[in-house]
Structure formats: structure tokens, C-alpha cells
Chain A
Amino acid sequence: MSVAQGRWTGVALDHQIQPASSNPVVLNGQALAVWRGEDGPVRVWEDRCPHRGMRLSFGFVRGNTLRCIYHGWAYGADGQCAEIPAHPALAPPKTICANSYPAETRYGIVWTTLGDGASGPPDLGPDEGWEGVRSLFVAASAEAALTALARFDFGAGATTRMLAGDIVEVSFGPELRMLVVVQAMDDERAALHAAAKGARATEERAALAKRLERLRADIEQA
């Protein structure tokens, strides 16, 4: 795997994890449920209900609790089971707790790590002003995606530089730059999450998204 277990990785665009939703994400072969309550921050949990193993990405959100679709068990923001509908009078034992991972939103991207999270997401400057462009999913390894990304032609005047092992910055001049973060799903699949910043970021978003679709074709042809 290209992404070390302890490192933080972008796994979704913040704006695409909508309020009151739970979403499936695969990171280094580990299935995750990325969910958001009716308000508040994104959370990243193991995609497995502690009760009978049902994937929590199929769950539904009420208030700021995530409920498993199978038996409606409700989990609070801390992962603790708060309610078991089969036994309304029962206070769920403390041992029933969803397995959670560190999660943080920065640069319009949701970051997590399968490690302890001590280091935090990479520091790429101030967080303000970033907006998600789009995510791409490719039938290629993260390594192949990075190689193709690093040499992709983003158009006249664009310069590409590697910020970290799995993060590329594309600069289109002083009014527009774009981050592309590569996430290994498994050995054969990867995701790329792109966010942009600058005076032209909003008006250029559609064009950048189209350009990224060309990048996807490039990666898969390589």
C-alpha cells in the first residue's frame, strides 16, 4: 500500500457528505461509514454494527445519531449505543460501541486515518476559501493514479507539484489553484478528491471537473 497506516488521507469531499447521511468509503481495504448528523461534523466509523455486523453505511440518521438499518440500534456521536428498539426500557451496556476513526474536515476535504491520528491532517496553509470540485474513482492502483496525475496536462499555464506522497497541487496562476488528494481503496482501485481556491474557483469549477474526467481516462488507459 502506498499510504502508510498512520497517515491521514482524504476520503471524500466535505460538501458531498450531506447532512443526515451515511456513506460507504473504502480505504486501504477497510470499509468505512462516513456520516454526518442533521448538523455538525463528519464522522468516520468502521462500516460494521457491533451487534450483527451490518454495514453502518446503510444506516439512517435521526438527529445526531446514526441508526443501523437492520435493527434500528442508535449510536451517538461518541459511538456509544444509545438505544435498542427491541428493548425500549433497556439502557444499552457501555460495551456496545461503534469503532470510530479520527476525522477532520480541511480544505473542503474529509480526512481520516486508520492509525491513532496523533499527527493530524497535513498542513497545507490556511483552511479558508477552499471548495470541493469533484471526486474521481479509477480502476487503477493509487500509485498508477499518482504517476498519471503528476504528468497530466491541466492546460496552458498550469503547473503541477507534489506536496506530499499522495497530494498534488495544480496552480493556474494567482487566482486559482487546485489540490488533488489520492486515496488507495484497494490494490486495484483508487479515489481522487479535488478542491479549488482563488478568485476564479467558483466560475471554473465546471471546467475543472471536466478536465478531471480527462485525467480519469488517462489514468485508466495507462
Chain B
Amino acid sequence: MTVTTDPVALNEWVPCAWHGQIAIGAALDTMIFGQDIRVERTGDQDYRVTTFGGDSPRELPVQTRYTCVFTTLGDDPRALPEIPEFDEADRRITGCGRVGVNTSPYRIVENFLDMAHFSFIHTDILGAADQTEVLSYRTEHRKDVDEIWAIDCTFYQPAASKAAAGGQLTKYLYRVMSPFSVMLYKNVATDPSRNDAICVFIQPRRETECLAYMPMAIVDEQSTIADIIDFQQSIFLQDRVILENQRPALLPLDPTYELPTRADASSIAYRRWLKAMNIRFGILEKQAA
């Protein structure tokens, strides 16, 4: 495809590399929204991102946060979200590299928001085959930050995290920060007063071709980083086979095209929000009658 002209999609910050992926002095060629870009690491914390191919090259803004390098093609992008957990000194901060997923970015976000699949796709880990019920929860559009939240979520989990010693009723808070980023807070097995923070930031290469980054700020003194990464990657690759086999890959916003139930309240809120912002990139256009 050519570079998208959708101004809504273009005015978002998206990741284009994870910090540590590129050696100092080296560069990585990648793509956002159909636009070829080159990410050069010019210093320990310094990156330079430029477009190439097509029009005359231009330099893009860069930020390094949450283990990722972010850039944007927009002139007036939405700010990156504040996630204070990443600044707490005792947290284990890690990314999981990046994982390729051949679908639209919205399918990835919706899957991350969804509790009803835990028993079937993350069996014996995030859900039990005999405890499939999703209890009612609330969603809200927080207009001050223009984010979608799902609150009062609970689900029975046999092994909620690498640190969990057994089954627990896990409390979740979900937060959609942009069309291409989502995160959750879930209560820590060993300390009920604190929450693990797990994010997914999506780099849309093309409409149905994405790279997913999963920065985490975890409360866990025991596990090795290898264990924490392995747990999160295992979960994500259980989802990936689903994501790549949803049809169509583009997201339908027509509410009669795919039929939700109460457990999908967060997906419904997310789709309504996408529709209201009139985003076109990666969205299934209405078929001509």
C-alpha cells in the first residue's frame, strides 16, 4: 500500500523499535502506516528517525519511553500516555522485543481487552475450563484524557502471573490510551495493594500487518527476567494464532457485522470510540449494496 492519508491514524505516536534492538551507530529499516522509515541509534539514549522512499526524506520526532522508541508522522499528535508505574524504583521493567502479527491493530487491542477467551485460549493459566463466566463490569470514556477504561473487572485465574502460587480471583483494570495502545493493571498475587502494569503498543506497518511491543512494570522479586518474558510471550503467542485467523482482518465497525454480548462491553466501547473519531486506516469499509 501507499502511505495512509488518514489524518486520525497519522496523528498518533507509535513504536518503531525497542530500546536495545539497535546497536549504537547502527540503523534499522522498518515501516509505519505504509511509510518506509529508518531508525538510527546515534547514542545510548538517542535515536534519529527519517522517512525514505517516495517523497523527499524528512526527519520525524522521536521519544524513548516504556522500553520503546516512538515516532509519529503527524503534525499534531496525541501525547504519549503517562504510566507512572514505570517510574517506581522496585519494579521489574522489561519489554518482550516485538512480535509480528498479520492483522489490523484493532484486533490486537480488542483481544487484549477481552476476558471471555481466557478459559479457551489461556487454559489453566489465565482461565479455567470450568469457570468461564465473565461478571459484569463497567466501561467509561474518560473525556479529560480521551481514553477508554474498563473497571471492576474480575476473573478467576489458575496461574495469573509468573509469581502466582495458585488460583486467585484477579481484579483487572483496562485502559485504552490510543487506537494503537492498550494496557491493563492486575492485582499482584503477593501484595494486594499493588498492580502489575502490562502494556501493548502497536506499530502498524500496513493495515493488516503489525508489530506488537509489550512493555511491563511488574512487582515480582523472585522470577528472572527470562521467566517474566517467557510467561508474557507464551500468552501472546497463544493469542497470535487467534488474531491471524479472524476474518476479516480489517475491523468492522458496523455493529450488525459481528455480534457482541455483554462480556464484550469494552470492545463495544472501543469500536464506538474509533467510529466517533472517524479513523479509516485498518477499518473495514462498508461494502457497496
Q: What residues of chain A have their CB less than 8 Å away from a CB belonging to chain B?
A: 31, 47-48, 50-55, 58, 69-72, 84-88, 90, 92-93, 95-96
Can you list 12 A-B contacts (CB < 8 A)? A48-B247, A52-B110, A52-B246, A53-B248, A54-B246, A55-B247, A58-B245, A71-B114, A87-B261, A88-B133, A90-B261, A95-B259
Residues of A within 8 A of B245 (CB): 54-55, 58
Looking at the assembled complex, report how far the CB atom of B107 sits from the nearest CB atom of chain A, in whole angstroms: 8
Residues of B within 8 A of A70 (CB): 117, 120-121, 242
Q: Is B181 an interface residue when CB atoms closer than 8 A count as contact?
A: no
Q: Give the distance in Å from the alpha carbon of A70 to the alpha carbon of B121 in the complex.
A: 7
Chain A's closest residue to B245 (CB) is: A55
Q: Give the distance in Å from the alpha carbon of A133 to the alpha carbon of B264 in the complex.
A: 46
Known: A86-B132, A96-B259. A71 touches B120 (CB 8 A): yes
Tell me the interface secondary structure of chain A in the complex.
loop
Q: Give the distance in Å from the alpha carbon of A70 to the alpha carbon of B247 in the complex.
A: 13
Looking at the assembled complex, report how far the CB atom of B255 sits from the nearest CB atom of chain A, in whole angstroms: 11
What class of interface size applies to chain B in its complex with A? 20 to 34
Looking at the assembled complex, report how far the CB atom of A3 sits from the nearest CB atom of chain B, in whole angstroms: 22
Residues of A within 8 A of B134 (CB): 86-87
Looking at the assembled complex, report how far the CB atom of A46 sits from the nearest CB atom of chain B, in whole angstroms: 9
The contact string, 1 if C-beta is below 8 Å from chain A, for chain B 259-283, is 1111110010000000000000000
Q: Give the distance in Å from the alpha carbon of A88 to the alpha carbon of B135 in the complex.
A: 11
B258 and A51 contacting across the interface, CB-CB below 8 Å: yes
Chain B's closest residue to A67 (CB) is: B120
Looking at the assembled complex, report how far the CB atom of A155 sits from the nearest CB atom of chain B, in whole angstroms: 42
Q: Is B116 an interface residue when CB atoms closer than 8 A count as contact?
A: yes
Looking at the assembled complex, report how far the CB atom of B249 sits from the nearest CB atom of chain A, in whole angstroms: 9
Chain B's closest residue to A97 (CB) is: B259
Chain A's closest residue to B121 (CB) is: A70
Q: Give the distance in Å from the alpha carbon of A38 to the alpha carbon of B37 in the complex.
A: 53
Q: Give the distance in Å from the alpha carbon of A218 to the alpha carbon of B241 in the complex.
A: 35
The contact string, 1 if C-beta is below 8 Å from chain A, for chain B 104-122, is 0000001000111101110
Residues of B within 8 A of A58 (CB): 241, 245
Can you name 17 extra interface pairs (CB under 8 A) apart from A31-B247, A52-B110?
A48-B247, A52-B246, A53-B258, A54-B242, A55-B245, A55-B247, A58-B245, A70-B242, A72-B119, A84-B263, A85-B119, A85-B132, A85-B133, A86-B261, A87-B261, A87-B263, A90-B261
Q: Give the distance in Å from the alpha carbon of A70 to the alpha carbon of B241 in the complex.
A: 10
A87 and B120 contacting across the interface, CB-CB below 8 Å: no
A53 and B116 contacting across the interface, CB-CB below 8 Å: no
A71 and B117 contacting across the interface, CB-CB below 8 Å: yes
- Which positions 212-239 of chain B face chain A at CB distance < 8 Å? none
Chain B's closest residue to A68 (CB) is: B120
Known: A54-B242, A69-B242, A71-B116. A86 touches B247 (CB 8 A): no
B132 and A47 contacting across the interface, CB-CB below 8 Å: no
Looking at the assembled complex, report how far the CB atom of A54 sits from the nearest CB atom of chain B, in whole angstroms: 5
Residues of B within 8 A of A87 (CB): 133-134, 261-263
Q: Give the distance in Å from the alpha carbon of A96 to the alpha carbon of B110 in the complex.
A: 20
Q: Give the distance in Å from the alpha carbon of A71 to the alpha carbon of B132 in the complex.
A: 9
Residues of A within 8 A of B241 (CB): 58
Known: A70-B117, A72-B119. A50 touches B132 (CB 8 A): no
Chain B's closest residue to A85 (CB) is: B132
Q: Give the distance in Å from the alpha carbon of A53 to the alpha carbon of B119 in the complex.
A: 18
Q: Give the distance in Å from the alpha carbon of A88 to the alpha carbon of B260 in the complex.
A: 15
Q: Give the distance in Å from the alpha carbon of A208 to the alpha carbon of B134 in the complex.
A: 54
Looking at the assembled complex, report how far the CB atom of A68 sits from the nearest CB atom of chain B, in whole angstroms: 8
Residues of A within 8 A of B114 (CB): 71
Q: Give the distance in Å from the alpha carbon of A53 to the alpha carbon of B263 in the complex.
A: 16
The 8 Å CB contact of A50, one of B115, B242, B246, B259, is B259
Residue of B116, B121, B252 most packed against chain A (CB within 10 A): B116
The 8 Å CB contact of B246, one of A53, A86, A88, A92, is A53
Q: Give the distance in Å from the alpha carbon of A92 to the alpha carbon of B263 in the complex.
A: 13
- Which positions 118-144 of chain B face chain A at CB distance < 8 Å? 119-121, 132-134
Residues of A within 8 A of B121 (CB): 69-70
Residues of B within 8 A of A84 (CB): 261, 263
B258 and A88 contacting across the interface, CB-CB below 8 Å: no
Looking at the assembled complex, report how far the CB atom of B223 sits from the nearest CB atom of chain A, in whole angstroms: 29
A86 and B120 contacting across the interface, CB-CB below 8 Å: no
Q: Give the distance in Å from the alpha carbon of A69 to the alpha carbon of B117 in the complex.
A: 9
Q: Give the distance in Å from the alpha carbon of A108 to the alpha carbon of B201 in the complex.
A: 50
Residue of B110, B241, B261, B262 most packed against chain A (CB within 10 A): B261
A72 and B247 contacting across the interface, CB-CB below 8 Å: no
Closest 4 CB pairs of A and B: A85-B132, A86-B116, A86-B263, A86-B134
